[in-house]
Structure 1
């Protein structure tokens, strides 16, 4: 107990039962999922939404239509205006806004049961970290906070920070260990937000855990600290130790020394976020940078477990169906190692057979449950003139391009004056024109892109290099109404936008 400290010892005891129950369920995924399906179907039967499907039994589950958000958007709009719930008997606590990375932002209804699903996910993850990760002491935790820029000004919409996904007793227990986020979510100026968060992080010498979404969120703030080091040092001169002040004023700040107690960074690290997560690993070589698994506004889908060496599905909270490449539907226990599937989920907030648009690959089995790796969105395609560039293909071409030490890589579709693509980079050692030619050649391995280039429908690739490209793109997306902490770095920036709006 002396090694981990009394608070961590108590927390481990409080979380043990939830974690043990989940661990037992990993031995019996079929039984666990069928029991959850019955529970969800019971809630479905008691809803107004169910009445539109006549008199169905659970044996007719496959006849319940698979839906996307656009299919129920009108019902959610009615819910908001009429303050009721079409999907379950549970009252809606609030509506959480998605990041809207590929379409208009969505408002997802949250019930107490759905919030509890997220809380259980955190409990299982925290217990695994306490038991299997580098030993924690009693340092601070930073939970991602996004400024509410362009957000709906109502308490009915959204959470202030990640800690609000937790049950009140857990928030109360963790409160002394959280980096203060008071007031940050109400800031409307992104520069002011970065300034205030930078100060709070710099003042937290005993920071042990950072929990964010996109790795670029942390990089943007580290860059801000480096650029504004003198003004920040002057402002904090009476609060920072002499040693930390000297670190802050270094020509190249040693981040691992700045937060020498840091043990864990939790962030996305798969698909488009893999290179950004690896960059954080290079900045903090002694820190465990752990991927978050697959987590969406709609539901917690997978969770990383250290002993599993991968991400296991939240099989106690979400009923999963998986569509293979031939269109056949499989249940969780039927998945094959190496195969790729699209997820259909049913969760405790009232979304039934919901096509979320995420694709996963089965990496291996842990106990009797398949581990799932997020590999991208199901329809991440850019199609200006019929070229149909898929994000996975663009990612492979960028890997072949071998852009050493480049952090930000995105392909921007542009329609003026003639349709073409611009490769956005934060830095490169290669001549931009030569790189553009190499990249264009790689993209022409895609038949429809090559046809469009040969026919003159697409102009040649251009390359634009700017050291603050990541920050510029983030600022644009914030103005478009996305939450900063939710912004995903994409290999293809969609939808098509005017490049002059970024630069």
Structure 2
């Protein structure tokens, strides 16, 4: 791995001040790292074909982690020997059920959920509007989560024929120093991890590179430009992100700032400041020529002709990005990122399927509740009957109950997966969305309760009776939401101020929504005022068209934009 470093010494009178970009590394992947990822991938593939042994090992480890803990004693886990014992002893939990155990950690108690003490609490949105705090331990990262990342990257390297000297652009997480404290614990999002736990945690070769590290106070789009500039001369073969929207965002920044990039390459600068990677006039001239030939356009494949694979989530609402992704990376194959979240990992891709992956049976215990036979909006009962992984059926959709060694025991994740096949002994799962009504273009996981509470807060004293409104996801680049609300002529509120207040409340209620708005990955909330009675007209029109009562149930948030179409048609009849 070639790294150019410069001394931080005083450059002397009259010399330009040194920029923060003290080195530029092409982030080439060394042979030993490639070998390690290949081994992890081979192990993951083997787990698919001999699934019961690794699943049993996970079960034993989870019981070991719970031994002697406050949770273990409360549930009599010392007497548990089988999965049947386990299901009888431990009820299915929502996060609110598990939160008291997290509160005990915050109060300074030890040995609460796991024998391995948490070193941080990962932060993600909760359905109540309060952030969920997920314990993360060194044992969990070293034994499970880190290893899983090596396996999926092994697939990506295998797919592009990765060789020493080739480069990646990793947008799936960022080494960031930004964190807050909750009690005695640091707290941050899963994609902003400040440090690796150990050498067996996910520790890629680009871990110390300037393009990879977060910069305090840097805007989202400026951060993307910095990555483009610092890797402009590299042989990038692979771009990896969680959300396809981020790759589309990189492509948009490249198109918007092509002139800046050509200038910086010609002058050896970054944002006009000295960049110690040096100038590359030949590359600057080549890109300028491509722009002229393409009517001012510059695409990722122009910058990196060797780009051979793009990785991102590619199911549920993330699938809406497929046309955009294909447009900005024409002809480049696509593979999915693992089905992963703050709470744990569900699937790890091991082959060329574009959206679905096999259940990660060696990373946790997974139980399944058929989704077709129950009301999605009602939480799972604590004693709900569940199926094990070998009992699910191809073609059916299930809600997942997950147990991982971080202390989330029989946790009702709220995620729905359809079984689309099998790999060896394990089901291949395709994520189809969240149970209950909600929306998530870029991982914001906006819920009905978020919208309801935000509108109620914005109306304030004007909340005299139940107003009719609904939040509608509107697909665009970037996407956003339109709040359709029946608006009386005598309502003494400024529409613009009301929309701003709803937007502010949504960001306060949902930290992921706030993050995506701050990064311009979602547009500001739009307000659509309609006359009183509009929702009734829509319902009447749809009833005449044959809609069932279940289809006419009012929701504070919609799954798609069809409400706007129905409303326009209903109002045209007036």
Deviation (angstroms), 1:355 = 0.9
Give the direction of change, closer, same or farther, for the CA distance of 1:164–1:318 in structure 2 (3 Å limit): farther
CA offset digits 1:439-492 (Å, max 9, x no partner): 997898464664769xxxxxx9558xxxxxxxxxxxxxxxxxxxxxxxxxxxxx
For the aligned residue pairs, the C-alpha RMSD in angstroms reads: 4.2
Q: Is contact 1:143–1:178 with CA below 8 Å preserved after alignment? A: no
Deviation (angstroms), 1:30 = 3.1
Give the direction of change, closer, same or farther, for the CA distance of 1:280–1:136 in structure 2 (3 Å limit): farther
Q: Which residue of 2 aligns with 1:270?
A: 315
Following the alignment from structure 1 to structure 2, what is the Cα–Cα distance between the partners of residues 69 and 414?
Answer: 31
The alignment's TM-score, normalised by the length of structure 2, stands at 0.64
* Aligned counterpart for 2:243 among listed residues 208, 214, 217: 214
* Aligned counterpart for 1:311 among listed residues 348, 357, 379: 357
* Aligned counterpart for 1:76 among listed residues 95, 102, 109: 102
Following the alignment from structure 1 to structure 2, what is the Cα–Cα distance between the partners of residues 332 and 164?
Answer: 34
Does 1:53 pair with 2:110?
Answer: no
Following the alignment from structure 1 to structure 2, what is the Cα–Cα distance between the partners of residues 330 and 319?
Answer: 11
Q: Which residue of 2 aligns with 1:295?
A: 340
CA offset digits 1:167-203 (Å, max 9, x no partner): 526766623896722343x2354454344344335x3
Q: Is contact 2:67–2:115 with CA below 8 Å preserved after alignment? A: no
Q: Which residue of 1 aligns with 2:515?
A: none
Q: Is contact 1:142–1:209 with CA below 8 Å preserved after alignment? A: yes
* Aligned counterpart for 1:26 among listed residues 48, 52, 65: 48
Give the direction of change, closer, same or farther, for the CA distance of 1:222–1:271 in structure 2 (3 Å limit): same
Q: Which residue of 2 aligns with 1:234?
A: 263
CA offset digits 1:81-137 (Å, max 9, x no partner): 417341111021222222558843222111112212121112222223333444445
- Residues paired across the two proteins, number: 429
Does 1:331 pair with 2:356?
Answer: no
41-50 vs 244-253, which moves further:
244-253
Following the alignment from structure 2 to structure 1, what is the Cα–Cα distance between the partners of residues 135 and 200?
Answer: 23
67-76 vs 140-149, which moves further:
140-149
Give the direction of change, closer, same or farther, for the CA distance of 1:102–1:213 in structure 2 (3 Å limit): farther
Does 1:128 pair with 2:185?
Answer: no
CA offset digits 1:422-441 (Å, max 9, x no partner): xx999xxxxxx9xx99x997
**Secondary structure in 1 matching 2:415:** strand
Does 1:152 pair with 2:175?
Answer: no
1:164-243 pair list within 5 angstroms:
167-168=198-199, 174-175=205-206, 180-184=211-215, 186-187=216-217, 189-190=219-220, 192-201=222-231, 203-238=232-267, 239-240=279-280, 241=283, 242-243=285-286
Give the direction of change, closer, same or farther, for the CA distance of 1:299–1:451 in structure 2 (3 Å limit): closer
Q: Is contact 2:403–2:410 with CA below 8 Å preserved after alignment? A: yes
Q: Is contact 1:312–1:372 with CA below 8 Å preserved after alignment? A: yes
Following the alignment from structure 1 to structure 2, what is the Cα–Cα distance between the partners of residues 67 and 386?
Answer: 33
Deviation (angstroms), 1:15 = 3.6
Q: Which residue of 1 aligns with 2:487?
A: 417
**Secondary structure in 2 matching 1:118:** helix
Higher CA-based Rg: 2
Q: Is contact 1:84–1:92 with CA below 8 Å preserved after alignment? A: no
